Amino acid sequence: MSQEKAQEFIRKVGTERHLWRILDNLKSKDDLLEVAQSLGYTFSVEELKLAIVQIMDLQDEDLESVVGGVRGGFGYGTVLSLVNLLGTENFG
């Protein structure tokens, strides 16, 4: 259930520009979880990582191309911000 909440949060951030700006200014994973919780989304970092991978249907080798900004399209900017905040080592 919490992974579903993480997916909902990713989609919400991806469609609401003001939330994307907030996300871009976060400095830590704890800050991210705090913002999500303030919006009614409770999940762990691990559940968020799983949600990111599931939403974007990423393989490990695809993650680096997203981080490098090679891929484009709806949702990738949100995922890029989340991955940068979480760090790519969390997906290996």
Q: What is the pLDDT of residues 53-68, one digit of tens each?
A: 887 765 455 555 554 4
pLDDT tens digits, 6-32: 989 988 887 888 888 888 888 889 999
Q: How many CB atoms lie within 10 A of CB 79?
A: 22
Only one residue has tokens 């990111």, namely 52
What six digits make up the tokens of 62? Answer: 């695809």
Q: How far apart are CA 71 and CA 65, in angstroms?
A: 6
Q: Which of 9-13, 38-42, 53-57, 88-92 has the lowest mean pLDDT?
A: 88-92
pTM of the full predicted structure?
A: 0.71
Burial 22-51 (b: 16+ CB within 10 A, else e): bbeebeebeebbebbeeeebebeeebbbbb
Kindly indicate the confidence band of residue 75, based on its pLDDT and cuts at 50, 70 and 90. Answer: low
Q: What pLDDT, on a 0 to 100 scale, did the predictor assign at position 62? A: 55
Q: How far apart are CA 28 and CA 31, in angstroms?
A: 5
